[in-house]
Amino acid sequence: MRSKNWRFIYTGAGLLVAAALFFLYMKGMAVKSNDPKALMEIVGQVSGVVGGISIAMIVLGFIGKKPA
């Protein structure tokens, strides 16, 4: 039976929260930008990539690792 890899799950959850907080923080900063549309496109891409990596880590953590 496989055991869950809790380090992957916790790291993935932390990255997911960090991506969401980064997006929300930068959404408030976009008002002050010269080109808010371009800024939010880049921020959305970065948040999406980090969110995707975090979801992959969570899934891999739940799949688990083989016992030694």
Structural domain spans, the chain: 6-63
For residue 63, the tally of other CB atoms under 10 A from its CB is 11
| Residues 3 and 62 sit within 8 Å (Cβ to Cβ) | no
pTM for this prediction: 0.86
Which tokens belong to 41? 């496109």
8-39 confidence digits (pLDDT tens)? 999 999 999 999 999 999 999 999 999 999 99
Spatial separation of the C-alpha atoms in residues 29 and 66, rounded to whole Å = 45
For residue 48, the tally of other CB atoms under 10 A from its CB is 12
31-63 confidence digits (pLDDT tens)? 999 999 999 999 999 999 999 999 999 999 999
* Interacting residues of 5 by C-beta distance below 8 A, sequence separation 6+: 60, 61, 64, 65
Q: What is the pLDDT of residue 55?
A: 97
